[in-house]
């Protein structure tokens, strides 16, 4: 059995953090009922798209599904229900009454306005675990402030620490706030489900992007660094030691971290510069002369292939790796052996799209690997409403005619 088999999740989230969180829950075996607007949103329509005839397209082909959506909606049941319609809200509340988990990532208070807040739904289902994902949290003086990934990187201090000391602050190359918050939300949900086994009650799980990135920043002693006058941004280096940097090679770059004197001595031998080990014999002396240490390494690495530089550093037992593109990294035998990436497929297509999507990056017996492709909008609406809400054909026809469902 998968870890969350038998757990039902009602998901009214959008964009990245919420859908990614519920993808993780689906990957653990939960049945995720993904509530979508009956009218396809930008999440389904932004190119590149998976063509229902197979392959990929950038054109607005009827039935095409956006690749990011195709990744995050695997293993979920698609229900087209209009949350702004009174009948739609009634149906969602009825689904939540029989569910274990409810996930939303709207502006704080929006679900209360729909009568779908934690207080509303938990009064009808005391065992419900209700997860609210937001930019700044459900409380405090600023819950309504609009949030996007790069904005939260800036607000948390994360962006100020990214980049070079003589350059501007930089955002991370991926939506790290969205992705990490999705992960913590899933962790909170799983923990709340475990707590429910002891108490018999669900609870509100409040996860904020600002909280998550703030915890990342303050995992290190940034206040101590400020007292010592160390730069906020250090690029690829680390003011606490050397060699810790990314070094130019004849055909690319290699990132390396030397943490011991033995590694440094072995690297100096490998570079044909044994005298450097005597000149900078310990971490303190190397940290004080980090620019000279890095210059000596780059004078050697700059004339050699990155693969050879990497091999020499690894032979010195120094952690090192070539800077690879995502496509190069995906082709690495280690990545392939771990089975993290799988071909994406439109549910109506016989062949894969040619794009890859990640599985849940945890290898254990409780992971559900055989996830169905993302469904066409509204594929499961009628089946789920019949099964879980008790709607008959006449009621479904009326709801469709009223525009509450698709």
Q: What is the pLDDT of residues 79-99, one digit of tens each?
A: 999 999 999 999 999 999 999
> Which two structure tokens, joined as six digits, stand for 398?
């009326």
| DSSP H or E run through 315 | helix 306-315
Chain mean pLDDT for the chain: 96
Is the pLDDT reported for residue 73 higher than 90? Answer: yes
Is the pLDDT reported for residue 230 higher than 80? Answer: no
| DSSP H or E run through 234 | none
Pairwise CA distance, residues 362 & 181, whole Å: 17
Is the pLDDT reported for residue 282 higher than 80? Answer: yes
Is the pLDDT reported for residue 231 higher than 80? Answer: no
Name the β-bridge partners of 205.
131
| DSSP H or E run through 300 | helix 290-301
Name the β-bridge partners of 341.
358
Pairwise CA distance, residues 306 & 202, whole Å: 53
Closest CA to 108 of 210, 39, 190: 210
Confidence tier at 225 by pLDDT (50, 70, 90) = confident
Confidence tier at 60 by pLDDT (50, 70, 90) = confident
Q: Collect all residues with Cβ–Cβ distance below 8 Å to 350 and sequence separation of at least 6.
A: 54
Q: How far is CA 328 from CA 74, 229, 323, 336, in A?
A: 25, 39, 9, 11
Is the pLDDT reported for residue 9 higher than 80? Answer: yes
User: Is 392 marked active-site?
Assistant: no
Inter-residue long-range contacts of 304-309, CB under 8 Å, 24+ positions, other chains counted: 304/249, 304/250, 305/249, 305/250, 305/251, 306/249, 306/250, 306/251, 306/252, 306/253, 306/254, 309/247, 309/249, 309/254
* pLDDT, average across residues 106-128: 97
Confidence tier at 318 by pLDDT (50, 70, 90) = very high
Confidence tier at 331 by pLDDT (50, 70, 90) = very high
Predicted model pTM? 0.95
Confidence tier at 105 by pLDDT (50, 70, 90) = very high
Q: At 393, is the secondary structure helix, strand, or coil?
A: helix
Spell out where 176-292 has E strands: 204-208, 244-249, 252-257
* pLDDT, average across residues 147-173: 96
* pLDDT, average across residues 296-310: 98
| Confidence (pLDDT) at 403 | 97
| Confidence (pLDDT) at 157 | 96
Closest CA to 86 of 399, 307, 406, 334: 399
- The catalytic position among 51, 178, 206, 294 is 178
| Confidence (pLDDT) at 345 | 93
């Amino acid at each position: 059995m998968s870890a969350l088999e038998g757990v039902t999740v009602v998901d009214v989230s959008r964009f990245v953090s919420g859908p990614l969180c519920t993808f993780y829950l689906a990957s653990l075996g939960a049945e995720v009922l993904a509530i979508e607007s009956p009218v396809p949103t930008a999440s389904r329509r932004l190119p590149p798209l998976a063509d229902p005839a197979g392959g990929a397209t950038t054109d607005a082909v009827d039935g095409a599904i956006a690749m990011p959506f195709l990744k995050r909606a695997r293993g979920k049941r698609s229900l087209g229900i209009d949350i702004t319609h009174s009948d739609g809200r009634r149906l969602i509340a009825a689904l939540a009454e029989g569910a274990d988990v409810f996930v939303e990532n709207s502006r704080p208070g929006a679900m209360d306005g729909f009568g779908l807040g934690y207080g509303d739904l938990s009064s009808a289902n005391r065992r419900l675990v209700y997860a609210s994902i937001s930019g700044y949290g459900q409380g405090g003086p600023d819950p309504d402030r609009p949030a996007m990934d790069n904005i939260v990187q800036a607000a948390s201090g994360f962006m100020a620490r990214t980049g070079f000391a003589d350059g501007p602050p930089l955002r991370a190359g991926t939506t790290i706030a969205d992705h990490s918050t999705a992960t913590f939300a899933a962790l909170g949900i799983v923990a709340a489900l475990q707590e429910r086994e002891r108490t018999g009650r669900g609870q509100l799980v409040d996860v904020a992007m600002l909280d998550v990135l703030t915890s990342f920043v303050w995992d290190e002693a940034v206040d101590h660094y400020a007292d010592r006058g160390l730069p906020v941004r250090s690029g690829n280096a680390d003011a606490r030691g050397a060699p810790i940097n990314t070094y130019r090679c004849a055909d690319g770059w290699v990132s390396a971290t030397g943490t011991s004197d033995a590694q440094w001595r072995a690297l100096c031998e490998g570079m044909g510069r044994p005298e450097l080990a005597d000149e900078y014999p310990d971490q303190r002396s190397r940290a004080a002369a980090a620019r000279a240490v890095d210059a000596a390494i780059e004078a050697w690495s700059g004339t050699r292939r990155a693969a050879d530089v990497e091999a020499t550093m690894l032979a010195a037992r120094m952690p090192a790796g070539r800077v690879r593109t995502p496509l190069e990294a995906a082709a690495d035998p280690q990545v392939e052996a771990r089975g993290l990436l799988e071909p994406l497929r439109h549910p109506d297509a016989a062949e894969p799209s040619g794009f890859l999507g990640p599985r849940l990056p945890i290898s254990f017996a409780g992971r559900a690997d055989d996830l169905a492709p993302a469904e066409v909008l509204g594929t499961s609406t009628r089946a789920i409403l019949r099964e879980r809400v008790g709607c008959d054909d006449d009621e479904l026809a009326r709801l469709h005619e009223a525009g509450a469902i698709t």
